[in-house]
Amino acid sequence: MRWKPAQSLSVDLLVQRSDEAGFSRLMGWKGRDEFIDCGKISSEVVELPASKSCDVGEFVFLPCHAQWLFIRWRHDRFRPNHIDRIQQLIELSKDCVEYQEILAVSRACRARHGAN
């Protein structure tokens, strides 16, 4: 079994200034020059430099709040992740197993089979 905590499942999204006061749009790459809206985030959380209208940032999806959490700017990326990868991350984060759950199951398995 392979386990990865939800907070380490991240994707790169394009942060784009929005006309909506106080918010920036988060965009995923659809292909060629097409991008798709993946949500919004408070402009206070991710401050774009005044000289830029968009930039790529790393984000984690929080399923309990159904929102994105900004991690850092990705100065090494010029394009966000593909929408398929973004949708995959959202699904994985909804079905994420907590570390304590894995420990409980492994202990129960060892006890059942008489292992120390």
pLDDT tens digits for range 67-109? 899 999 998 999 999 999 999 888 877 766 666 777 888 888 8
State the average pLDDT for the chain.
84
* CATH fit for domain 8-112, picks 2.40.50.140, 3.40.50.300, 2.170.8.10, 2.20.28.160: 2.40.50.140
Token readout for 112 is: 């059942």
For the record, the structure tokens of 75 come out as: 């100065």
Helices assigned H by DSSP within 4-82: none
pTM of the model: 0.75
Residues 18, 24: contact at Cβ < 8 Å? yes
